[in-house]
Amino acid sequence: MSQARRIGLFGGAFDPPHQAHVALARAGLAQLQLDELRIIPTGQAWHKSRSLSPAADRLAMVKLAFADLAGVLIDERELNRRGDSYTIDTVLALRAEQAQAEFFLLMGADQWAAFTGWHRWQELAALVHLCVARRPDLADAPEAGTLEVTWLDLPPMPVSATGIRGQVAAAPAGGSWADLVPPAVARYISDHRLYAQP
Ligand code: ATP
């Protein structure tokens, strides 16, 4: 019998996608021996109060950021969904499409710390393997109850999209922020004058 296909899921606002996102994806693909990793840019996420950059810009940057990673596939379904968008809906849809697959949900420690606040989190936890990357300020985040989690083998990286947006606003023409994102993403940010306002 053939082995179940191992599918990783990595969602985020990706506003913008940065080096830690790419490192996390690379680590997940290798460590979890994924057959495919779906990058899933969120619509207007229910748990983020800030309004996001246009979907078209975030999608374009995600395509540029992950272009070199074999096995990555960009899944646009959440961008196309109207109304509230929840990870459980995405996972249920994917399971309906690929009933035999095993799913691995990748996230950073900030999301993990908030996981028990996610919509239908118990149901979600029963459907996926939870795989978490440490973040510097959250290295000791409490684990959500008795849920099993796989820690990704990745040193904590002090990079956040919030920090990058702030740095771009302070120096739109270019600055040390350009090293925190893949080069093509840095060019896209400059060319499209993203994040000029803090
Ligand atoms: P923001 O600062 O706007 O909240 P972010 O940098 O956390 O953004 P998101 O697009 O919200 O980026 O994150 C997508 C996923 O990547 C989330 O699971 C998040 O925890 C994870 N992630 C982001 N940055 C890091 C990092 N430095 N280390 C590990 N995981 C990260």
Per-residue pLDDT of the chain (198 residues; tens, 9 = 90+): 568 999 999 999 999 999 999 999 999 999 999 999 999 999 875 555 678 999 999 999 999 999 999 999 999 999 988 777 899 999 999 999 999 999 999 999 999 988 989 999 999 999 999 999 998 876 555 555 678 999 999 999 999 999 999 999 999 888 899 999 999 999 999 999 999 876
Best probe residue, ligand 1, of 9, 10, 22, 24 (max atoms within 8 Å of C-beta): 24
How many Å apart are CA 65 and CA 19, to the nearest integer? 8
CA angle 140, 141, 143 (to 5 degrees): 115
Q: What are phi and psi of 9, to 5 degrees?
A: -125, 125
Tell me, in angstroms, the distance from the centre of ligand 1 to residue 159's CA.
8
180 lines ligand 1 (CB under 6 A): no
Q: Can you list the alpha helix ranges (DSSP code H) found in the chain?
A: 19-31, 55-65, 87-97, 109-113, 121-127, 161-170, 183-191
Neighbours of 74 (CB within 10 A): 16
Helix (H, G, I), strand (E, B), or coil: what is residue 90?
helix
Instruction: Set out the domains of the chain in order of their start, with CATH numbers.
Output: 6-157 (3.40.50.620)
Q: Using a 6 Å cutoff on CB, does residue 135 contact ligand 1?
A: yes
- Per the confidence metrics, is the pTM higher than 0.75? yes
